[in-house]
Amino acid sequence: MRSANSLFLSGRFLLALFTLILNGRLLAWSQESALYSFRLSGGDGNAPLDGLVVDQFGNLYGTTSAGGANFEGTVFELSPPATQGGHWTETVLFSFGGISDGAAPSFGSLVFDQAGNLYGTTSVGGLTGEGCSSAGCGTVFELSPPASQGGSWTHTVIYEFSPGGASYPIGGVVLDSAGNVYGTTSSGGTAGWGTVFELKPLSAAAAPWTEQVLHSFAGGADGAAPQASVTIGTKNKIYGTTQEGGSAGFGTVFELIPPSGSGGAWKKIVLHNFVGGKDGAYPDGSVILDSAGNVYGTTVGGGQQASGLCSS
Amino acid sequence: MPPSAQGGPWREVVLYAFQADIGANPYDAPVLDHSGNLYGTTYQGGSFNRGIVFRLAPPAESGGVWTFTTLHEFVGGGDGVDEGIFPLAGLTSGPDGSLYGTTWEGGSGGCQNDIYYGCGTVFRIAP
């Protein structure tokens, strides 16, 4: 009994040590710091849904889905302290106006172009009409930095989604090396189940951007309701997820292959149909690619106890 | 995983299946570092069911098991507490090697609904 007991004790000790080591590993990476709390008052943004983009100086940029001067959401900048241990400084760069110029920027992250302009989407705002709610069909916007330090950033709606077309872009956009803008809309398109779109800048500075729908999701096996932006891979292939649809109705991972000749149609392939359970269900985010061409992402549902997974 | 031969089927590998007490509902894509580690957030789950930051380290050998580590469990705390809760978005890696993210509730900013405090936060996880 005694030896069994001491074995039990040493086992407990080992377990404690193991836990300690694990905790040590956890502590080594658990220096979480709350850098900024959004405020209810003073025209500050509230409730950020999107991630951050960082510039070379360590300034963070993001959006809030609510708050701001017009309670329609904001774009903000958070600048690191001048001295270590100081406070980070938040500046609201732009407050959205609603129907006039966009509202409620949602998921995804802002992106920089090579000239330092920021691009993003507002899930609603802009044009209204049949097929879009009274809140608007959504916009793609550009925010240009001030010409001199301390000046205002300039907000430009580069595309307003319109009733009967693609609508409700909730995932932000990405840029290719030529400055073309790509994203998804969660609704609209020929079947109403969302789209993948491309916006091309025209050469003249004041000319409008032109939209091309690269794929309209048909629902069912083709996929439906993309919630996130897309990712551009090698040979300009585009990767993304649809939250719904697919052969089992639990969402898909898709690939869009550009046409070989100008004016041809993009070819869409479903790379994976989620089947629920341990396989995962309802991917809500975009995907990332590694150098070997593997695709990684998460699902909100599925896994064990309906809690999502990472898959490649 | 892409097909080994052109035109072949892609293969899905489940790297990790979350459980509510560890982390639940990862809404956004993870980020990848130079060593092949994946870092991400879950909206809910963890000890306080208010979301976590996690790392998934690749196996030493192809086909092995990925190693899951909880880097932070969000707890929040109520009015006047800076820490956030419920990270919806994924993480961004900064020039200093830290990971940055947002939480859509929590923090000391004064918003309050029926249960939770805060208007959301920006946070950093330092290595």
Instruction: For residue B27, list chain A residues with Cβ-Cβ distance below 8 A.
Output: 107, 284-285, 298, 300
Element (H, E) at A212: strand A210-216
Instruction: For residue A306, list chain B residues with Cβ-Cβ distance below 8 A.
Output: 24
Encode pLDDT of A133-159 as tens digits: 899 999 999 999 999 988 999 999 999
* Whether pLDDT at B39 is above 60: yes
At A206 the pLDDT is 63
Most confident of A241-245, B2-6, B17-21: A241-245
Q: Nearest CB to A47: which of B30, B90, B119?
A: B119
Q: Nearest CB to A64: which of B2, B17, B120?
A: B120
Residue A307 lies in a domain: no
At A261 the pLDDT is 87
Q: How many CA atoms lie within 13 A of A147 on its CB side?
A: 0
Residue A270 lies in a domain: no
Residue A181 lies in a domain: no
pTM: 0.90
Residue A78 lies in a domain: yes
At A17 the pLDDT is 35
Give the rounded distance of the alpha carbon of A54 from its chain centre. 15
The total domain count for chain A is: 1
Residue A153, burial from CB neighbour count under 10 angstroms (0-12, 13-18, 19+)? middle
At A23 the pLDDT is 39
Please state the φ and ψ torsions of residue A306, each to the nearest 5 degrees. Answer: 55, 55
Check CB contact under 8 Å for B121 and A35.
yes
Q: Which residues of chain A have pLDDT under 50?
A: 1-27, 306
Check CB contact under 8 Å for B92 and A47.
no
Residue A102 lies in a domain: yes
Identify the domain containing residue A98 by its residue range.
41-165
Encode pLDDT of A168-223 as tens digits: 999 999 999 989 999 999 999 999 999 999 999 987 666 689 999 999 999 999 99
State how far the Cα of A53 lies from the Cα of A223, in Å rounded to an integer. 29
- Averaged pLDDT, B73-94: 89
Residue A139 lies in a domain: yes
At B114 the pLDDT is 62
List the domain boundaries for chain B: 31-125
Residue A160 lies in a domain: yes
At A14 the pLDDT is 36
Rounded percentage of chain B residues whose pLDDT exceeds 90: 69
DSSP E strand stretches across B27-103: 31-32, 38-42, 52-57, 67-73, 84-85, 92-93, 99-103
Give the rounded distance of the alpha carbon of A120 from its chain centre. 9
Full strand arrangement of the beta sheet holding B67-73 = B31-32, B38-42, B52-57, B67-73
Instruction: For residue B26, list chain A residues with Cβ-Cβ distance below 8 A.
Output: 285, 298-300, 308-310
Residue A196 lies in a domain: no
